[in-house]
Amino acid sequence: MRLILKNCNYLGKEQRDIYIADGKFSEKYPDDQADRIIDVKGALVTPGLIDMHVHLREPGLEYKEDIASGTRAAARGGFTGVCCMPNTDPVVDNPAIVASIIKRAEEVGNCRVYPIGAASKGLKGEELSEIGLMKEAGIVAVSDDGKPISTAGFMRKVLEYCSDFDVPVLNHCEDKSLSGGAMNEGPVSTSIGIRGIPSASEDVMIARDIIIAEYLGLPVHLCHVSTKSGMRMIRDAKARGVKVTCETCPHYFTLTDDYCVDYSANYKMHPPLGTREDVEAVIEAIIDGTVDTIVTDHAPHHQDEKEIEFSLALNGIVGLESSFALCYTYLVKTGKITLDRLMDLMCHNPSDILKLGRGGMEIGDDADLAVFDIENEFTFDKNKMLTKGRNTPYDGWKLYGETLYTVMGGNITYEKLC
């Protein structure tokens, strides 16, 4: 495929044409040698986005999502790479399942899929999984998400063992002895009669992992950080030289627990939505560099699992198709961060943490890119999503940054049809 993109707003810095040949960014060649020429008319062109925390649900939970539908949604969101979590059925805790996920993703061809293996067999927190063999099969990290790595002793064992294989460790931050509720503990939960989860549940685990990482001198990555205290601890740890990185999600800087008052489970997630102070702290941490990556924690569920009583509904929302637009609208367009900073958060830093070698747009690099309309407002419509899930809180929101095209390895994997 020889593709030319004309009149690109390249990374928000300059107008240029982009040439692609044989899956790579190419030197300029004559227009008549192209298989296709697209005039993007000044739309923003960026590297393909990378999401290091998604749930594709395959194998075993395909009624919620599968690799085909999840990667279609990813491509529609401008993503050319996603890292899928291991809490499937069966759990991704051996090389055979890792290989099957990679093979299926290659067959589908919508998006690069990087499996994350389970840290423990069956996510039980008792016995190390086959980490070395899974690394050979293609995992890029380990995690027991959506469960925390159970004990401090087992966390130490995971970090030390993974250091031998140069495999990053990602942890879901939750002290389960504190987290028996359904939303953030505070005035809102009290007023609507829902049992709350104290923010200390997340903070205690963050503190534990920082202490262990500092003691061992080994890196740890903390998943979907959402609290004011958590961000403060991570900021202080980084200042001391602790090898800690972290991620957050768009819902933690666009939503508060006030949204739960109508009992819609589209606002039920874990960690739970926090207070206005938490939201402001997350934004501050994004601005000052404490946050390394923005992820979606894309968690599709069947409507029967979400359209029920709030306390009984499953946690999580879909996010692949709304993430960039939310980030652009609420972080870049408002002047809180630059587009370059957003690209670090959504592409370069995930690639660096997981050693993926992605995000380049120089001649000879793999041609992974996305094209976004940042000039015209659009209404996010859950009925137009390509994921199987409809569990989004953003239906009807007015946003900027709609995806027009996604190109992965020189092939168009998403194209908005007028």
SS3 114: strand
State the total domains in the chain: 1
Residue listed under structure tokens 């028996």: 180
Judge whether 116 lies within some domain. Answer: yes
Overall average pLDDT of the 308-315 stretch: 97
CB-based burial, 70-105: b 16+ in 10 Å, e otherwise: bbbbbbbbbbbbbbbbbbbeebbbbbebbebbbebb
Residue 223: which domain range?
A: 48-359
Bridge pairing between strands 112-118 and 141-143: parallel
pLDDT band at 219 (very low <50, low <70, confident <90, very high): very high
| Average pLDDT, integer, range 112-138 | 97
Residue 150: what pLDDT?
84
Give residue 51's pLDDT: 98
For residue 403, tell me if it sits in a domain. no
pLDDT at 418 > cutoff 80: no
The answer for residues whose C-beta is within 8 angstroms of residue 270's C-beta and 6 or more apart is 146, 174, 179, 197, 315, 316
* Average pLDDT score over residue span 378-400: 98
Q: How confident is the model at residue 251 (pLDDT cuts 50, 70, 90)?
A: very high
For 338-369, letters b (16+ CB in 10 Å) and e give ebebbbbbbbbbbbbbbebebbebeeebbbbb
Summarize pLDDT for 342-371 with one digit per residue, the tens. Answer: 999 999 999 999 999 999 999 999 999 999
The CATH number of whichever domain residue 331 belongs to comes to: 3.20.20.140
Q: Which residue has the tokens 């670090």?
A: 344
Task: Decide if 380 is inside a domain.
Answer: no
pLDDT bucket at 95, cuts 50 / 70 / 90: very high
The catalytic site residues sit at 297
> Are 47 and 369 in contact, with CB atoms under 8 Å apart?
yes
Element (H or E) spanning 215, and its range? Answer: helix 200-216
Backbone angles phi, psi at 37, to 5 degrees: -120, 130
Contact of 400 with 376, CB cutoff 8 Å: yes
- Tell me whether residue 56 is in a domain: yes
309 belongs to a structural domain: yes
Mean pLDDT across 99-123: 98
Q: What is the model's pLDDT at position 97?
A: 98
Residue 417: band (very low, low, confident or very high) from pLDDT cuts 50, 70, 90: confident
* pTM check: above 0.85: yes
**70 located within any domain:** yes
